[in-house]
Amino acid sequence: QAIAKGRRWALHDEEAARAIGQKQNLLVELEQAIEFGNIWTVYQPKWNLREDRLEGAEALVRWEHPERGIISPEIFIPILEKAGRIDELTLNVLKNALDDLSIWSARQSGLSCSVNISAQLLGNDAFIEKAIAMVGAVNTGDGHVIFEVTETAALADLQRSILALKRIREAGISVSIDDYGTGQSTMSYLQRLPIDEIKIDQSFVKTMIADDSNRLMVKSTIELAKALNLKVVAEGVESQPCLDMLSGLGCDVGQGWHISKPIPSEVFERSWLKAAAT
Ligand code: C2E
Ligand code: CA
Ligand code: CA
Ligand code: CA
């Protein structure tokens, strides 16, 4: 019995070691990919439902591993976060997004671009100052660069988050609460956070046609956003009925596969921006 148990542990350790080894490999490969520019950014269009026009886009990072193919950010972002290396990647994504937004803005005014900011970066003053300086160096106008922060991130250390978010907004950057509804937010928390926008999590939006409680969640979040004077975005819009229902409920902006999947910047420029004047 003792031996069997010992073996089981041995096996367990070996598996764990292999998993950790793989993660370390992935981390090394990721660092190289960041260094050599093998990480790029795609954009998912956001559609203004009230004015029936393009609102802007969200920047989403992509990594194509030489052997393993496209690896989801849901796998490699947490690895970078745990290694304390998410700042570098985020500054790269922000650089790409700002370069592209400058090109778009020159062709069509009023567009915005959102960038995802990990929880831990709100506590990293050096990162915040670098990011603010980068945004300040391009002339896209106030509020056209949006930092998306998850609800859980903002609530983890409320005092610290409030200070960081204030600093970000003073620099003319808008703040959006991402994945809203999946965490612990209450109205009183939301009121205390210096934010501009709420993004309703796709798990509610995708199912709102068939699921009464999720529809109620979407409806009440839209009402809450209006009461607090915040812009409200629904993500995970996968069908026309869903889009119509969101419009009917007074949702400001929609994002999702029915509108467009995330696309490279060239495709965004070609298919979504107004034709260049000739
Ligand atoms: P997120 O910020 O919630 O981004 C939305 C995710 O939903 C994206 O997945 C997008 O491709 C996907 N999506 C969009 N519309 C639909 C739809 O209609 N239906 C469905 N089923 N999915 C839809 P993606 O690109 O794989 O990104 C996953 C997550 O990785 C993001 O979730 C975000 O948390 C994180 N992420 C992506 N890029 C970055 C980045 O540059 N920095 C950080 N820190 N995180 C990032
Ligand atoms: Ca997001
Ligand atoms: Ca989200
Ligand atoms: Ca998410």
Structure-token match 């950790």, residue found: 20
What's residue 202's pLDDT?
97
Q: Is the CB of 90 under 6 A from ligand 1?
A: yes
> What is the CA(277)–ligand 1 centre distance, in A?
33
Per-residue pLDDT at 102: 96
Give the pLDDT of residue 26.
87
Q: Is ligand 1 within 6 A of the CB of residue 260? A: no
pLDDT at 20: 58
pLDDT value for 3: 44
State the pLDDT at residue 18: 61
**Is the ipTM, as predicted for this complex, more than 0.90?**
yes
Query: Relative to the alpha carbon of 74, which ligand is closest?
Result: 1
* Per-residue tens of pLDDT for the chain, all 278 residues: 344 444 444 555 556 556 656 677 889 999 888 888 789 999 999 999 999 999 999 999 999 888 888 999 999 999 999 999 999 999 999 999 999 999 999 999 999 999 999 988 999 999 999 999 999 999 888 889 999 998 887 778 889 999 999 999 999 999 999 999 988 777 788 888 999 999 999 999 999 999 999 999 999 999 999 999 999 999 999 999 999 999 999 999 999 999 999 999 999 999 999 887 65
Distance 104 CA to ligand 3 centre (A): 23
- Write down the pLDDT at residue 142: 85
Q: What is the DSSP string of 205-266?
A: HTTTTT-HHHHHHHHHHHHHHHHTT-EEEEE---SHHHHHHHHHTT-SEEESTTT---B-HH
Residues around ligand 2, an ion, CB closer than 5 A: 116, 148, 178
Q: How far is the CA of 115 from the centre of ligand 2 (A)?
A: 7
Nearest-angstrom CA–CA distance, 124 and 170 = 17
What pLDDT score was predicted for residue 277?
62
> Cβ(242) to ligand 1 under 6 A?
no
Decide whether any atom of ligand 1 lies within 6 Å of the 40 Cβ. Answer: no
The whole model's pTM is what?
A: 0.92
